[in-house]
Structure 1
């Protein structure tokens, strides 16, 4: 006899929730290149397709394009919006067309990061130590894509702290490759980074103090959707509202993906090893009904 997963068995015993499930199970999830975003988007794609019959497409676009496309109904949901500061500029033009739902992660971090062996503790200190952080011949801060929120905040930090440095924008993987190379050689490097991120489990890193508060305080991550999504799919809305992750669960998911080297295979491996956690989300969503 084929073994039935606990999630499927739970679903079979949930007539109320099943009745709330959308008839049209085509779903477009907007993603960006942040490590945790790729991780959770692939996790939910696998769960919804394999266990609940959805047809899920991941649409990887820039932040500006994501919000615009969602406001027009071309993207249904996205798993990550940082509030109240980081993603507010992206949300503001579309706040009447989009809906921010419940939080799933609390206590984020965002800012400039160096390896712990670097004898610099504050962004302000970079002004006098800029020459220590040369990259391709000039003092640099290594960042991710120029359209990201953290890139804009880093431009603000360079201006406010009057740093004689430039931000070098590239992809997240390229930035991490540069960090890995510098770390292996114990060379100075400063990068833009955020938590949750698997890098803090892999390397001994520290945030530089930000006395001017350019990068803001710790924030909360919510999922969000086009404005009418909750009425179109109340079941999935309740499930995602019940979804919660912390440093252990999210860090473990990201670390598994990084170790495996593939977001789909890594997310599947994490799902297989954490059925109890997933079933708790489903049970919490049922309780909400």
Structure 2
């Protein structure tokens, strides 16, 4: 299996941008060798887990799998222009709605592969607060801040709206997924209060006892689902791979197992995915046999 990072695969992202500009782009995904399949994904812990697991299954079934890490925009562009064959990383109906509105006519949505996603503010289970509406009463115990992630993330925009809507006296601090979980780990280790931007599925819920704060004004909205989306024509070119992708479906708990494995020092996500596939062959056989 070949894996390309965003830095290593600049040409791939460039092709996607060329396609969006209306230029003709050659399609490696439509080459004569239909045993070769390219899976694109974003570098989120959830999508690293799911993409490597489905890659391990496809490789087990004889496919030459190529993984390409891209930004969300480039991922959808690559799929729409057939430079990628499939993704198992589309958060709908909200997070990736803009991409689907623009490109949905050029791809095929195979439906939900994971149900039960959630966005919100997360605190340790021992924290003496249960609602966002009550955060101001405990602002000092949270050091007057909410620990966020990347400043450009959709979750951060929603959290800024939360701060305004609830008139919170806490400042939203940007960082990254890694700095957020590091702050969470440090607070729990010292039995201190901390509030972070959170989402499910995420490995932190497998490692620590956490809870979402209630959102009575529903700023974060309802649960989303993660969808599998493929390029047009994949069903004709690779009907067996198409059937496996169509049947792929698992739970947040199962994904959490893989994400937690990936947090171990020196972990290899693909080797972990292969181990999970080997340990859960009964579930995998359902995908292979087209049983969703």
Shorter-chain TM-score range: 0.7 to 0.9
- Partner residue of 1:243? 248
Alpha-carbon distance in 1 for matches of 2:164, 2:84: 35
Q: CA shift at 1:220, angstroms? A: 2.0
- Partner residue of 1:73? 82
The 8 Å contact of residues 37 and 63 in structure 2, kept in 1 or not, is answered as: no
Q: Which runs of 5+ in 1 are unaligned?
A: 1-21
Q: CA shift at 1:159, angstroms? A: 2.2
Structure with more relative contact order (C-alpha pairs < 8 Å, separation 6 or more): 1
Aligned alpha-carbon RMSD (Å) = 2.3
Q: 1:87 to 1:253 in 2, by over 3 A?
A: same
Q: CA shift at 1:259, angstroms? A: 4.0
- Partner residue of 1:95? 104
Alpha-carbon distance in 2 for matches of 1:112, 1:91: 27
1:174-215 Cα distance to aligned partner (Å, 9 max, x none): 221121111101121111111222211211100010111111
- Partner residue of 2:129? 120
Q: 1:259 to 1:105 in 2, by over 3 A?
A: same
| Equivalent position to 2:39, from 2, 5, 29 | 29
Aligned partner of residue 284 in structure 1, secondary structure: coil
Q: What TM-score, normalized to structure 1?
A: 0.80
- Partner residue of 2:28? none
Alpha-carbon distance in 1 for matches of 2:159, 2:99: 16
- Partner residue of 1:133? 142
The range that moved more, 175-184 or 223-232, is: 223-232
Alpha-carbon distance in 1 for matches of 2:70, 2:134: 35
Q: 1:124 to 1:218 in 2, by over 3 A?
A: same
Alpha-carbon distance in 2 for matches of 1:39, 1:79: 10
Q: Tell whether 2:170 aligns with 1:165.
A: yes
Alpha-carbon distance in 2 for matches of 1:79, 1:111: 23
Give the count of matched residue pairs.
Answer: 260
